[in-house]
Amino acid sequence: MGIWDQSSLLANGDQLADLQQSAKARVLLFDQYLRVAADQPNGEQPNESDLFLGVIAGIPWFARRVTEVSNPSNPRKVGFSSTMRQLVTKAEALFNWHDTMPCCENCQAETQASLGGQTRICTSCTAEVFPRIDPAIIVSLLSEDDRLLLAHKPIWKQTRISVLAGFVE
């Protein structure tokens, strides 16, 4: 994700606590529909239930769900920067993961968020669960005379074609 790195920052909860207490820390506010507030307040301090998104240019970023946001917006339409769109997309993915994975995959017991929401820990068997992050690409290749390369899988109907897409491995 370009200029930011989070993985090396979460070796333990103490490092996360330091990031949460940083005077530079910023919190993005999201409503129940995962709409982000267009006007983000600067004074919000992160708390233990916020999701850690990463550090960009020395600024720790967190995400918080609130009942209502002022001036809810779609970052794709508002003209947010590429970096802000990445933060919003990561927050949306983490919120969705936490919403859909409340139980342990091994024993079905309840799980609790850990390390700023980067993992979930089972309350029964202590298994650690991580979100699936499978980078994928969709590619369109154009020739010099504006012809688009399309693919056809042998098992498909003769009339079915597609742009190239797949997982990055």
Q: What is the mean pLDDT of residues 123-129?
A: 95
Same domain, 18 and 92: yes
Q: Residue 108 is encoded by which pair of tokens? A: 């079905």
What digits encode the pLDDT tens for the residues 35-84?
887 666 566 778 888 999 988 888 888 999 888 887 777 666 666 788 88
Digit-coded pLDDT (tens) for 158-169: 999 999 888 776
Sheet of 26-30, strands arranged across: 4-5, 51-56, 59-65, 26-30, 36-37, 72-73
Q: What is the largest CA-CA distance in the chain?
A: 61
The residue among 59, 84, 101 that closes a domain is 101
Determine, yes or no, domain membership for 114. Answer: no
Classify strands 26-30 and 59-65 as parallel, antiparallel or unpaired. parallel
Question: Is 148 contained in some domain?
Answer: yes
* Structural domain includes residue 108: no
Residue at token pair 């499978």: 134
Give residue 5's pLDDT band: very low, low, confident or very high (50, 70, 90). low
Q: Which domain holds residue 43?
A: 4-101
* Cα of 158 vs its chain's centroid, Å: 38
Residue 113 belongs to a domain: no
Q: Per the structure, how many domains does the chain have?
A: 2
